[in-house]
Amino acid sequence: MAWEDEIVGPDVASAGLHVSECIGRDTASQVDLEEALEASRYTSHPYSSHPKEWPPLVEVLETRELPSTLIERYAAAGGEGTALCGTFPEICRAWASVDNSLFLWRFDKWDEQCVEYCGEEQSICTVGLARVKPGIFVEAIQHLLVVATPVELCLIGVCCTASGDGTDPFAEISLQPLPEYSVSSDGVTMTCVACMDNGQIYVAGRDGHIYEIQYTTGSGWRKRCRKVCLTTGFGTLVSRWILPNALKFGTVDPIVDMVVDNERYIIYARTEGMKLLVFDLGVDGSGPLKKIAEERNLIDPREPQYGVRRAGSRAIGRAAKPSIVSIAPLSTLESKWLHVMAFLSDGRRLYISTSRSGVNNTSVGLTGLGNVGQRPSCLKVIATRPSPPLGVGGGLTFGAMSAANRAQSEDLALKVEAAFYSTGMLILSDSSATATSSLLIVNRDSATQSSLPSNFGISSRSSRALRELVSSVPVEGRMLCVADVLPPQDIALIVQSLYSDLETFAGLRESCEKASVKLWARGDLSIQHILPRRKMIVFSTMGLMEIAFNRPVDILRKLFESNAPRSQIDEFFTRFGAGESAAMCLMLAARIIYAEENLISNSVAEKAAETFEDPSIVGMPQLDNNVSLTSTRAPAGGFSMGQVVQEAEPLFSGAHEGLCLCASRLLFPIWELPIMIAPREDGVICCRIPSSAMQVTESKIRSLEQFLRSRRNKRRGLYGFIAGRGDFTGSILYGTRPDVGSSSQIEGRNLFGQSSRNAGSGEISTNKKQRLLYSNTELAAMEVRAMECLRRLLRRSSEALFLLQLISQHHVTRLVQNIDSNVRQKLLQLTFNQLVCSEEGDQLAMQLISGLVEYYIGPDGRGTVDEISAKLREGCPSYFNESDYKYFLAVECLERASMTYMTDERENLARAAFNHLTKVPESADLRAVCKRFEDLRFYEAVVRLSLQKAQALDPNGDAFNSKIDPDRRANALVQREQCYEIIMAAVHSLTGEAGKVSSPGNVLDQASRDTYIRQIIQLSVQWPDTAFHEYLYRTLIELGLENELLEYGGSDLVSFLQSAGRKPQGIQVSGTVAPTSMPRDLEAPIPSSQIKFLDLLARYYVMKRQHFHAAHVLYRLSERHRTDAAESPTLEQRRQYLSNAVLQAKSASSASTSSASAKNSFDDGLLDMLEAKLAVLRFQIRVKEELESVALKFESFQATIDSNSNEPFPHGNLVYDANTAKAARDKVKELELNLMSITQLYNDYAVPFQLWEICLEMLNFANYSGDADSQIVRETWARLVDQALSRGGISEACSVLKRVGSNLYPGDGSFVPMDTLCLHLEKAALERLSSNVEAVGDEEIARALLAACRGRPEPVLAVYDQLLSNGAIVPSQHLRLRLLRSVLVVLREWIMSFLAERLGTTTAGASFMLGGTKVVEHTSIIQKGIRDKIASATNRYMTEVKRLALPQNQTEPVYQGFERSRRN
């Protein structure tokens, strides 16, 4: 059954909203009986009669005589024995007793069986039927007969046997005596029996008390059956057992009638003295019997006979007091506030409540149980209904004045001798006529229900008033009792399963047969499609009479069968309204009246269809003429703009309203309730409605939809009206209205317009402004479109029911066992409305279908996809279409592939599944399918299917369109990312499944994993989806697959990395020319999340040999700023970045060609800048290390002081000063945070912490402009030497001079003030030697100066010459001698270095030669020029020694030293 390419979603959703509104209106139209009685106080016609031209309302179906056995036994008793009778509707039996014999026979049909029971010796005084309490008797005994005689009460088991076909569960019965279950009556004659649905048995006696018969299995001394008096006290017991009867005073008022309210758990009793009693059994019916109230003066003869509320209860004995002939409880479906009715002998009815609170008190609650939670507390008459009028048999009608308002003479007054009431149906046995008696039947007039307005916000009081139809049926003999003919059990079960879970029908939770009868409280109109005609059995003295009550649809059917004139059809539509009448025509035409299909002939169905489509009867769509006009006044001196005219809404015909009513009533029991329930705690899920009920509902809905489709195809009704009047076919079916007025204006309004009620055939007059809005053809097209939407909703609903039946047949729990718990919870909350109309319902339905198909194609091999697909495509094509079929074919292939170990076969099956799915990517359950492909290692399908699904979900590329609404774009991107995530999950699984066994059973090694990962990446980058590429790149980075990303990344990888890492503005991604300027955003903070992207970008440039770009990116990484030390890179990391940047810049420079001169120039500048940055960074690292050393020394020294508290702390030492250590730690943190300039390092860090060595290096690096006499450089050197002297004396100072001087000595001595350093050190050495502070050798300073000059003796000798030549600088003779000793050391070093150079040996080796025998042989090789210089200098210094005014013992060693040097 094809779906005919219909648009399901929008039309079904729109129709679903309208159906919900109709259900709400229909529910609100159900008026509480108390409210209807209150409204009837203000009306003049509480009763009406059935039109005599119409078929009768009540039909006598059959009369049957009493069983012959019963008649013979009664005749044998001479008519003087004790004879009782009654009915047991629960087992479809009537009963009668003659003396001690009890007879039971079928009352709904004569089957020639009459069961007789004669087990009692005494006459039977009352009989009752009770359900069996579970667990006491054998399973065959389901009911118990309670038989009371004057001496005992006996329980008799009733066994029912079903018919052969199972349609009649009470085909045969047998009685099983239970001798052990009898109890003495203690001399009390029982008058009546009342039984609860839970099996409790109550009997009332002529002593005015109520007893409970309790029975158990019995154990030990305890009796199996006993009688307990529930209404007696201690005084009554004493009176009963001690006082003789002669001493008992007062009269006893025996109980003659007792009824049970099984919904509210209340017992009502009536006595001979017309006293009414009420007893409470507790909230759940298991509590002790408690007497609540008793009332004797319920009747006031002076009270007006017509619907006046009572102001009090005053008994006046002037007039004859009517008696109470019967009482009956009211169902909660009829009223939440009225609880019981009392029927008087004059035909009046008393409506009584047991609650003291006001009947309109809404605080009690509006559930189906009414005020069950509020227990009874009193007896209060709420309203009195007047007696029905006489003469209805002659077709008496009632106009403005009711016959009930006229005083009836005593002869015309009703004389009710028996009454029966059951859910809105009242049967009175009237004996006012002496010749014959008749049955007066009173039931609610359905026409009043149809007159309720559709807009339930405000309703007129008269429309809610209780109006009843009165009919009269003659009967032979006197009516003894009446019983409902309960619907068949299968029908009752269906009705109960459909309606019992509704909140307003919670009272239906009892026996299914009784529950279906109580459903009539909703009225004929709303349930005549689901329940058959109501039937009753009247038990009279002459026999049994079966009567049936024709529903409104039965009346209409009979009118069609009898070819009634048009006037009667018009009268029917007028009485019930066009909408309700059209709904009944639909029921007949579509044959959806329950259990009455065989009564509807083809001619009746065709006439009903023609009437439904006749515009002269159901009306035509038109504009609502109730348009309010708002006038606007012009200001003074201005002009008036006229009136603001409210645009008229279309008012659809009665046919449309009838379809809405019919559809909403079919869907009402299931529409807003969950489709699944979990009734047990073990989590077992099942369908809320049994399959039988769903099948019945589906059949009716399909019949209605097929009828509508057939009329559409035949162009009947409005379809024919709009045919040929423009291109309205497309507008009706698909909502494209190019030719109908203003399309946007119509579509923006209510698609379903306003429901029409009582729409006649005449045209509603409209003003000129309204006629300009829509033409008749346009209005007809709008109504046809609305009806088409409803038809599609019906079809969709029938398919949903079919699907649920199919799911239910395969056990829901088994199908959903693999579904996620969240999805399972959504399934339990899913209503039928959502299943039909919402996207979520469609998705959950697909989940169920998936489970069903997997059940078929599972390892057990229960079937194939083709088998289950054929059922689904035939029964629910909107839930299972061709694309779903392809999808499940693929699933079947995947299932077969997972079970085979043949590599080729597995590959072919996976490929076949992939080919199926590529045709329907949007229908696939992507996550489940890709997981299967992943298990098969078929990653091509994982990648391509996911990307195809993303494309199908966003075909217009909204995810990349920045011009559309941001929310729409974000939603499209989210949908795409859900598909992308499946591919990334496969990659993630591969990266984390080392050693995992794949589906065929082989262990997946590392090489295979790498191969699959590369395959996924290569397939992914081939797909032209930038959003996916970005998602892919980010995921690969997160998984640590950077190498694979850089190797196999797409062409957009660079742009992605640049964008993710805030790419430099000067870098051109696609060009090969280096940038001409450094990036301007280097100082912008870079979040830590973006660093990895820049790292990868640099690696990519290095891999692609784009060295300039790599240098810039590395430079940016090294220069990035941070405000938080936790996120800041370390200085070592920055140094590494800069070092790599320098290497890349050098590589770029070396690779450049000579023709690119401009580029080479820039490259040199870039390289110089990077090298300078690297040098400054090294200074920063050294400063940081020195400051850390300062802090560490203080901490170590502090620990030493703490361990030796007697040693004083040297507060004057800067290194160990606590404040300095704290400042050093703070400065270290600053240095770790960001890069500093050389100026900052010098002024803020090096100088304050006296890092003079680093200061000198900084000054040298900065090419300080001062010459050798520069005061700053000299002062810095002096501070450095003083610092070294203070730390370690001359040795430390010489070491510092060697280290620093050799690094800073430029060759010309301009930056190292040798004279100052030499003089400073020599003076310090002399002072320390003289004061015995330090033993200073003659060679330390000289060698240090030589090392500072990088081993060149000439500059050192020049310095000493300068000092010795100036007596003002060196006035001290000892100091001059000190200088000459150092000069001697320099001369020796010069000679040895020169000799070592010439001989190719070391300085030590040369020293050895000079001291050996071969010295003379080698001296000839010394060049004459150098020898002359040395000799000249030696002579000069020897002269200086001679000039010293010092003792010879001090100068002679020096002089001899020079002498030896001169000779060498």
In the sheet that holds 255-261, the strands lie side by side as 255-261, 266-271, 276-280, 290-295
How far apart, in Å, do the first and last CA atoms of the chain sit? 125
| DSSP, residue by residue, 329-357 | EPPTTT-SS--EEEEETTS-EEEEE--SS
Q: What is the mean pLDDT of residues 429-441?
A: 78
- On the question of pLDDT at 1157 being above 50, the answer is no
- On the question of pLDDT at 1215 being above 50, the answer is no
Of 1270, 1272, 1317, give the one whose Cα is nearest residue 1293: 1317
Please write the tens of the pLDDT for every residue from 99-125. 889 999 998 888 778 999 988 888 999
pLDDT at 625: 64
- On the question of pLDDT at 1338 being above 70, the answer is yes
1201 against 489, higher pLDDT: 489
**Token pair of 645 as six digits:** 């005219």
Q: What is the mean pLDDT of residues 740-749?
A: 37
Q: Where are the alpha helices (DSSP H) in 681-829?
A: 691-713, 718-722, 728-734, 743-747, 768-771, 776-809, 812-815, 821-829
Please write the tens of the pLDDT for every residue from 1385-1420. 888 878 777 676 666 555 555 554 444 434 434 444
Please write the tens of the pLDDT for every residue from 972-1010. 888 888 899 999 888 988 887 544 444 444 567 888 888
When pLDDT is cut at 50, 70 and 90, the band that residue 634 belongs to is very low
Report whether 1302 contacts 1347 (CB < 8 A): yes
Torsions phi, psi for 489 (to 5 deg)? -60, -35
Q: What is the mean pLDDT of residues 593-604?
A: 75
pLDDT at 661: 94
- On the question of pLDDT at 432 being above 90, the answer is no
Range with the lowest mean pLDDT among 506-515, 637-646, 871-880? 637-646
**Token pair of 2 as six digits:** 């094809």
Q: Is 317 exposed, middle or buried (0-12, 13-18, 19+ CB in 10 A)?
A: exposed
Mean pLDDT of all residues belonging to the chain = 78
Torsions phi, psi for 930 (to 5 deg)? -65, -30
1152 against 1180, higher pLDDT: 1180
Dist. CA 575–CA 1140, nearest whole Å: 98
pLDDT at 1398: 60
256 against 1348, higher pLDDT: 256
When pLDDT is cut at 50, 70 and 90, the band that residue 1082 belongs to is very low
pLDDT at 751: 54
pLDDT at 419: 94
Q: What is the mean pLDDT of residues 762-779?
A: 57
Please write the tens of the pLDDT for every residue from 1115-1128. 888 887 765 555 66
The pTM score is 0.70
When pLDDT is cut at 50, 70 and 90, the band that residue 820 belongs to is confident
Distances from the Cα of 735 to the Cα of 366, 623, 715, 978, 1360, angstroms:
42, 21, 19, 33, 111
**Of the ranges 300-314, 391-405, 1096-1110, 1426-1440, the best mean pLDDT one:** 1096-1110
Report whether 881 contacts 872 (CB < 8 A): no
Q: How many residues does the chain have?
A: 1464
**Token pair of 749 as six digits:** 């309004």
Please write the tens of the pLDDT for every residue from 888-900. 888 888 888 888 8
Of 1167, 1169, 1149, give the one whose Cα is nearest residue 1157: 1149
239 against 821, higher pLDDT: 821
Distances from the Cα of 760 to the Cα of 570, 616, 620, 963, angstroms:
9, 7, 8, 53
Q: What is the mean pLDDT of residues 1186-1207?
A: 69
pLDDT at 412: 60
Q: What is the mean pLDDT of residues 932-948?
A: 90
pLDDT > 70 in the chain, percent: 77
Please write the tens of the pLDDT for every residue from 953-973. 888 888 888 888 888 888 888
**Token pair of 1161 as six digits:** 């120039």
Please write the tens of the pLDDT for every residue from 441-453. 999 988 876 654 4
Dist. CA 984–CA 930, nearest whole Å: 11
Report whether 497 contacts 690 (CB < 8 A): yes
- On the question of pLDDT at 1063 being above 80, the answer is no
Q: Where are the alpha helices (DSSP H) in 1331-1412?
A: 1340-1348, 1353-1365, 1373-1399, 1403-1410
Range with the lowest mean pLDDT among 1030-1044, 1070-1084, 1145-1159? 1070-1084
- On the question of pLDDT at 1158 being above 80, the answer is no
Q: What is the mean pLDDT of residues 347-364?
A: 72
pLDDT > 90 in the chain, percent: 24
**Token pair of 614 as six digits:** 């006749």
**Of the ranges 278-292, 732-746, 755-769, 806-820, the best mean pLDDT one:** 278-292
Q: What is the mean pLDDT of residues 283-292?
A: 88
Instruction: Evaluate the CA torsion angle 323, 328, 334, 336 in order and state its sign.
Output: positive
Report whether 538 contacts 475 (CB < 8 A): yes
950 against 1433, higher pLDDT: 950
pLDDT at 405: 41
Q: What is the mean pLDDT of residues 1208-1216?
A: 45
Dist. CA 361–CA 376, nearest whole Å: 15
Dist. CA 1259–CA 1312, nearest whole Å: 11
- On the question of pLDDT at 607 being above 90, the answer is yes
pLDDT at 363: 38
- On the question of pLDDT at 1265 being above 80, the answer is no
pLDDT at 830: 93
Range with the lowest mean pLDDT among 448-452, 458-462, 619-623? 458-462
Q: What is the mean pLDDT of residues 326-350?
A: 92
- Residue 43 CB coordination number (10 Å): 17
pLDDT at 1403: 53
- On the question of pLDDT at 1268 being above 70, the answer is no
Instruction: For strands 114-117 and 126-131, give the pairing.
Output: unpaired
pLDDT at 754: 53
- On the question of pLDDT at 470 being above 70, the answer is yes
Q: Which residues of 1357-1376 are buried (b: 16+ CB within 10 A; e: fewer)?
A: bebbbebbeeeeebeeeebb
Dist. CA 1227–CA 1185, nearest whole Å: 11
